Amino acid sequence: MTKATAPYMALLQGYRLSKVPLPSKIENLLQLIHTDGIYPDMRIINDIIEAYTSWGLYDKALNMYTVATLTSSTSPVNGITFRRMFILLRILHTNKHPLFHFLPMRTLFRDSLAFKIRSSATNFTATWNAALEGFMNVRDYAAAINVIDQFWIHKSLPDMITKDVVELGLLTHVRESLKEGTGWRIKFLGDGRNQRFSRRLQYIRLEIQKQGLEGHPATLQYLRELLFRALQAQLGHFASWGEAFTPTEKLAQQNQEKAEKAAKKAIEKAAMDMMPADESISAAEPVDESDNLWRNQRE
């Protein structure tokens, strides 16, 4: 926030906290900002997106993001913007809202990655946690694996939220699959005596320990292995857990190479949707996000 935008920000804060939708007030405020020859900064954009989302005015929130990212060569966005948008897409998916398809989640991640590379932004863990939660919510495990890979590539540190998002997302899928009678749970966990979810988590942890990995690399590898098996099951294959006591487990081992090949192909396809083109990540002036650290802490 600058001295020029401070008065408008004060007005916006009052509107944003209202439980009654005030879209006309925000539109008038934007018009006033435009008339005064001031371009909205990232805090104004972020708070408007948050306000529209909380009021259920999803079309206006999407439009605000589109205008902010497409109408300016120096888009007034940051990691918080993308976090808010991933939350919005989760809400749209949960509510089966038709606007969910207006902005594909993979495209949003591509935009966030292009921003990170372009701006040399740091402290991106919370943003990618939001992306990861979004992909887990829609059960796009190929995309979720690509998010984990970007944690690794860009040396972003996973935290407990990263781990919880993946584990709880898969546990929810397991429970819903059991309730609905779908075959994904058996393909993922198997049908033997060790089919409990907690046992499968322990199996991967032990495998990671054997590899000698520790700290954040171990966490990322653990989450990737878990998601890789979930993806195999999603593609119709039985995930292999190193056992062959039942017919299902024997089948999983016999077809392990085929299952892994299918999963890798799906991950590569997702990466094509999620990675920015070279021209979109050309060098630009680094963006100092230190002014927003208090916002990250608060959220």
Of residues 293 and 28, more confidence is placed in 28
Instruction: Report the pLDDT value the prediction gives residue 295, as an integer from 0 to 100.
Output: 31
Instruction: Report the pLDDT value the prediction gives residue 150, as an integer from 0 to 100.
Output: 94
Structure tokens at 286: 């680094």
Q: Could you tell me the pLDDT band of residue 290, with boundaries at 50, 70 and 90?
A: very low
Q: What is the DSSP letter of 299?
A: -
In percent, the amount of the chain with pLDDT more than 90 equals: 57
Mean pLDDT of the region 69-93 = 85
Is residue 11 helix, strand or coil?
Answer: helix
Instruction: Report the pLDDT value the prediction gives residue 280, as an integer from 0 to 100.
Output: 40
Report how far residue 53's alpha carbon sits from residue 259's, in angstroms, rounded to the nearest whole number: 40
Report how far residue 187's alpha carbon sits from residue 236's, in angstroms, rounded to the nearest whole number: 7
In whole numbers, what is the pLDDT of the chain averaged over residues? Answer: 85
170: nearest Cα among 159, 181, 184, 190: 184
Instruction: Report the pLDDT value the prediction gives residue 294, as an integer from 0 to 100.
Output: 24
Q: What is the DSSP letter of 287?
A: P
Residue 225 clears pLDDT 80, i.e. is over it:
yes
Of residues 246 and 200, more confidence is placed in 200
Q: Could you tell me the pLDDT band of residue 299, with boundaries at 50, 70 and 90?
A: very low
Q: Could you tell me the pLDDT band of residue 284, with boundaries at 50, 70 and 90?
A: very low
Q: Could you tell me the pLDDT band of residue 262, with boundaries at 50, 70 and 90?
A: very high
Instruction: Report the pLDDT value the prediction gives residue 118, as an integer from 0 to 100.
Output: 82
Instruction: Report the pLDDT value the prediction gives residue 289, as an integer from 0 to 100.
Output: 33
Report how far residue 249's alpha carbon sits from residue 240's, in angstroms, rounded to the nearest whole number: 7
pLDDT digit string, tens, across residues 47-60: 999 999 999 999 99
pLDDT digit string, tens, across residues 4-39: 778 888 889 899 889 899 999 999 999 998 888 887
- CB of 223 closer than 8 Å to CB of 148: yes
Q: Could you tell me the pLDDT band of residue 219, with boundaries at 50, 70 and 90?
A: very high
Residue 287 clears pLDDT 70, i.e. is over it:
no
Mean pLDDT of the region 189-214 = 84
Instruction: Report the pLDDT value the prediction gives residue 148, as an integer from 0 to 100.
Output: 97
pLDDT digit string, tens, across residues 152-181: 998 889 999 999 999 999 999 999 998 887
Instruction: Report the pLDDT value the prediction gives residue 70, as an integer from 0 to 100.
Output: 77
Residue 147 clears pLDDT 60, i.e. is over it:
yes
Residue 296 clears pLDDT 50, i.e. is over it:
no
Report H helices in 58-196: 58-70, 79-94, 105-119, 125-138, 141-153, 160-180, 184-189
pLDDT digit string, tens, across residues 104-134: 999 999 999 998 888 777 678 999 999 999 9
